[in-house]
Amino acid sequence: MRPAHRPLFAALAGLLALLVLASCAFFSPKAAVIWTDAPEFALYAELFNAGQRRYRVEVRWYPSLVAALGQSGKDPDLVVGSYLKSQATRGRFQALDYLFGELTVNQAAFYPSLLAQGDSGGRQILLPVSFDLPAIVFTSGGRANGAKKFLLGLDDLAAEAKAWNQGGSPGTSSAFTKMGFSPRWNPDFLVIAAEALGAGFREGRPLSWSESGLDGAVDKLRAWTVSVNSSPVLEDDFQFKYLYTPAYKYVAEGRALFSYMRASALFLVPEEKRGGLDYRWYAEGGYVPIVEDAVYAGIPRKARNKAAAEAFLKWFFKDENQKAMLETARKTRNLEGSFGIAGGFSAVRAVTERTFPLYYRSLVGHLPPAENLAQPSALPGDWPEIDAKVVSPWLLETTARRAGTAGKPGEELASRLAAWTKNKGR
């Protein structure tokens, strides 16, 4: 699911899109149509159009590209957004390998794990645009151990989180007044953690997973809660009483030791409010899970103006042009409402590693480790709805149970999905 600021930024997208569309009346017939769920592309389109006269692009924003492509009998010239490798859409895109052969797009410039996800049957049908990462946030100097670790997993958090706890005597109903951390505080993190621990969520009918991996992930999350915080009841009680402020704030106030935030949300917190905070990337087994809504770009097979779409892609992936996007966003104060490139880190490694620290000083010493980024899974196009209606609520519920008090996690999740699918069809 998109971070909370995305709906607000959609309003800006509408305004910019109107400007682009209005100016299109004076354009030549070469204008290419871009469909996107990333409203930032309205700004990028204006920069592209202003920088040359041969091609023009116009932007149309959709909250769900998969739904838009499924309902429309027309194909745009370029599609940019999330969940494009789903079965419902990937067959609509042409191979883009020739862009590498022409040396107009540098294949080696991308993060390898992101580029690999755009491959289908040995053909590069999608090019990565941007991605988000899970961060563990804490106060600067507030950690007793492991502060030098660049990546933090649940095992790394356990001892310090438990030592931070106050109240909540095991075996009693005594409530906590301070709690170090719980993976169950945030449904987004709970799903990310389950995936990182081996759940293997991926597209199916409508969703598939690793049975053994899901079993192990649920067992691990249940055991972590009991070992560190005594019981899920006490975790829920603490959250209800105290965690009603933003995640960075309750850490800064000392109510909790750690919190989870997406990078795209963390870097939208004003610097003066996160000046006393530090962070590490969440990882299991040495790999940082890329948040599931990474943004990709593809050219439909039936696109009518492929030349303009190709020209835009060639322009977009140049380092100097992405720097201009960030600079323009800063001047227009759009950086205050959207992080980085299309709401995330740039998939062009040099831009993230060299340019981003100029605009986000807190990235110095914290750049995403390319060799540790896990390849994102191909999820169904309606994953946000499946996650919100089924997976997240079920994970929250099942991790609150004691081991052995319910059936196998995979069978239970399958039953929940079947019931949801049946009701959805009514």
Question: Percentage of residues in the chain with pLDDT exceeding 90?
Answer: 72
22-36, 132-146, 158-172, 182-196: range with lowest mean pLDDT = 22-36
Among candidate residues 399, 390, 408, the one with its CA nearest the CA of residue 218: 399
Structure confidence at residue 173 (pLDDT): 54
**Alpha-carbon gap, residue 397 to 391, rounded angstroms:** 10
| The two domains 6-132+293-369 and 134-289+382-424 share their CATH topology (first three levels equal) | yes
Q: What is the overall mean pLDDT for the chain? A: 88
Question: Percentage of residues in the chain with pLDDT exceeding 70?
Answer: 87
- Mean pLDDT on 287-301: 96
Instruction: For 400-415, write each residue's pLDDT tens digit.
Output: 987 666 678 999 999 9
Going by pLDDT thresholds of 50, 70 and 90, the confidence category of residue 8 is very low
- Mean pLDDT on 366-375: 92
**Alpha-carbon gap, residue 300 to 311, rounded angstroms:** 15
Q: How far is CA 403 from CA 63, 325, 412, in A?
A: 39, 51, 14
Q: Name the DSSP letter for residue 196.
A: I
- Mean pLDDT on 66-94: 88
pTM value is 0.90
Structure confidence at residue 90 (pLDDT): 87
* Residue 185 confidence (pLDDT) above 70: yes
- Mean pLDDT on 367-374: 92
Domain boundary assignment for the chain: 6-132+293-369, 134-289+382-424
**Alpha-carbon gap, residue 350 to 354, rounded angstroms:** 6
- CATH number for the domain whose boundaries are 134-289+382-424: 3.40.190.10
* Residue 144 confidence (pLDDT) above 50: no
Pick from 18-27, 71-80, 156-165 the range whose average pLDDT is largest.
Answer: 156-165
- Are residues 321 and 49 in contact, defined by beta-carbon separation less than 8 angstroms? no
Given 3.40.190.10, 3.20.20.105, 3.40.50.300, 1.10.150.120, which CATH number is that of 6-132+293-369?
Answer: 3.40.190.10
Residue carrying the six token digits 């870097």: 267
- Are residues 219 and 275 in contact, defined by beta-carbon separation less than 8 angstroms? no
Structure confidence at residue 88 (pLDDT): 83
Structure confidence at residue 168 (pLDDT): 67
Instruction: For 206-246, write each residue's pLDDT tens digit.
Output: 999 999 999 999 999 999 999 999 999 999 999 999 999 99
Instruction: For 234-245, write each residue's pLDDT tens digit.
Output: 999 999 999 999
